[in-house]
Structure 1
Amino acid sequence: MSQPSLRPRPVVYLFASAAPPALQLPDVVRRARRRGWDIAVGLTPTARDWLEDRVPELEELTGYPVKSAYRRPGQPDVLPPADAVLFAPATFNSVNSMAAGITSSWVVGCAAESPGKGIPVLVMPCVNSALAAHPQFARSVAVLQEARMQVLYGEDGFVPNRPGERLPYPWESALAAVEQAL
């Protein structure tokens, strides 16, 4: 008879900025938990505002508080250590902030420092084609890759849509990439 695995479930931080796919987070959490992962959700302040009425549901699904602000000095961390970070959807602002090292939001700061701690970070942008055409965006994607983050952008990830167009967000590609990173 086989012994049950003593290996704990991997902890994946699921971070989101304020883009329409963030509204799908409860379903994404369910899908990720079916893969055998513990999920902790982090939101930019604007994403938290967008999802305020869904925060109790997210906390019930994950068993952890939804985090969107830095803790005060001396306060304990409310989340277990991450085995991987998935930042999806990552807006134009979040991608550029991470690349520039502007960590005014907790999720951007946590994602920015995670590669330095040996934690895999996967970033799936959510930008329209007009923003993707801005020269800073390509530079920021290159900087994130240089910082040892996996950017799920282009053919195997997110493909920008036209402004105002709503196409399905490739969540399954993001989850499959996390599976590989774990």
Structure 2
Amino acid sequence: MSTSPVQPVLYLVVCAAPPARQIDEFIKLMMDDGWIVCVIATPTAATWIDRKIIAEQTGYPVRCEFRRPDDVDPLPKADAVVVAPATFNTINKWATGISDNLALGILNEALGLGLPILASPYAKSTLTQHPAYARHVELLTGAGVTFTHSEAIRPHTNDQPFLWHLIQRALEEILRPPVPG
């Protein structure tokens, strides 16, 4: 009797930045690549996305609120985490260990679990020049988070879609086993 391989689970943490409005495109890309995708949205991002459509697309509810202690978690355990778009606010709070919303709580726990984490910042250059930002990216990188460059998914022109394939490729890179040397 053969058993089919278990699909890996991706927690996709979505923050409130323009790419969030087309997050369904990234979800489709990852699902086509064999991932089960579970979306966790920051409180503001939850108002920017169509939670019902994303739940239908993924088969899982979009989580944005803490569950009660006696509630069963409706999501399977994650194998990897992607934060896209990752806002200036979320990156700075995450680096300081703040868990004042579910998305940050998930990110802080993922660090503690040692899960592979990819963050794709989407922040204005005026914000990324803030001295706290560089320190916080460095701190999170030291804790094992891999970052794309800021606004890596921004299209070259406004009439093009976001460059979600760059995040997909970056995730493949961090999940690739090291070549024995």
TM range (shorter): 0.7 to 0.9
Q: Secondary structure at the match of 1:102?
A: coil
Q: Which runs of 5+ in 1 are unaligned?
A: none
Indicate the residue corresponding to 2:29 in structure 1: 31
Question: TM-score w.r.t. structure 2 length?
Answer: 0.87
Q: Deviations over 1:25-74 (max 9, x none)?
A: 111111111101110011000000111xx111100110000000111111
Question: How far apart are the structure 1 equivalents of 2:154 and 2:20?
Answer: 16
Question: How far apart are the structure 1 equivalents of 2:38 and 2:55?
Answer: 8
Assess, with a 3 A threshold, how the Cα gap between structure 1 residues 159 and 95 changes in structure 2: closer, same or farther. same
Indicate the residue corresponding to 1:12 in structure 2: 10
1:181 partner amino acid = I
Question: How far apart are the structure 1 equivalents of 2:161 and 2:135?
Answer: 26
Question: How far apart are the structure 1 equivalents of 2:84 and 2:11?
Answer: 10
Contact 1:129 1:160 in 2 (8 A): no
Higher mean displacement: 170-179 or 135-144: 170-179
Question: How far apart are the structure 1 equivalents of 2:127 and 2:162?
Answer: 17
**Alpha-carbon deviation of 1:178?**
1.9
Q: Which of 158, 170, 175 is the matching residue for 1:177?
A: 170
1:158 partner amino acid = A
Q: Secondary structure at the match of 1:141?
A: helix
Q: Secondary structure at the match of 1:27?
A: helix
Contact 1:132 1:160 in 2 (8 A): no
Q: What is the CA RMSD across the aligned residues, in angstroms?
A: 2.2
Q: Secondary structure at the match of 2:64?
A: coil
Give yes or no for the alignment of 1:138 onto 2:134. Answer: yes
Q: Percent same amino acid at aligned positions? A: 38
**Alpha-carbon deviation of 1:181?**
3.4
Question: How far apart are the structure 1 equivalents of 2:25 and 2:118?
Answer: 19
Question: TM-score w.r.t. structure 1 length?
Answer: 0.87
